[in-house]
Amino acid sequence: MGRMIRIGRDGRFVDLISARTNAPRFVEAAVDSFRRWTFQPARCNGDAIEAKATVFLEFRRAPAVAVGR
């Protein structure tokens, strides 16, 4: 699932520009993840600049865990 995001000059996630999916709960999970990430900021003439990036995520179901054995 590809996501176009905006990254601030400080390397932090700013916002989601576009998402290709038909499952809104995956969009929410992706945004929650992006908020915890820090990126190496893009640079122009040595100065950090805001940038866009495409990030691909793959969601998988967690394996079942036996409880009470």
Q: Is residue 29 part of a domain?
A: yes
Cα dihedral 5→9→10→12 (10° resolution) = -10
Residue 22, domain member (yes or no): yes
Give the pLDDT confidence score for residue 1 in this predicted structure. 57
Indicate whether 9 belongs to any domain: yes
Q: Is residue 45 part of a domain?
A: yes
Domain annotation covers residue 66: no
Q: Is the pTM of this model over 0.95?
A: no
Q: Which residue range forms the structural domain that includes residue 23?
A: 2-56
Which position has the higher pLDDT, 23 or 42? Answer: 42
User: How many structural domains are present in the chain?
Assistant: 1
